[in-house]
Amino acid sequence: MSIGFKVGGKDNSSMKKNLLKILLIIVLACLAAVAIFLFLGYQELNSLESEYTKEELFKLCSEGKVDMYGCVTGGAW
């Protein structure tokens, strides 16, 4: 015999499981978005490196014309 609350015919444990599944999906979606953002920033910096010298790329990074994370990880700084 269960002594739990029932809401809409469901008990608390199934609601908690559904909530955890939803939270897991949200976290995975956020991680995927961050990974895509970082990858695109890295690709942008690599394409810029083929067009500019390190000094020119450093100047673009200093002026804020390209992604800061890409500047740091790409070696401009």
Q: What is the pLDDT of residues 25-73, one digit of tens each?
A: 999 999 999 999 888 877 776 666 666 677 777 787 788 777 766 666 6
Asked whether residue 13 carries a pLDDT value surpassing 80, the answer given is yes
Q: Where are the domains of the chain?
A: 9-74
- The secondary element (H helix, E strand) that includes residue 59 is helix 54-62
Q: Treating both helix axes as pointing N-terminal to C-terminal, what angle do 54-62 and 12-51 enclose, rounded to 10 degrees?
A: 130
Place of tokens 């999906």: 25
What is the percentage of the chain residues whose pLDDT exceeds 70? 60
- DSSP 8-state secondary structure symbol assigned to residue 9: T
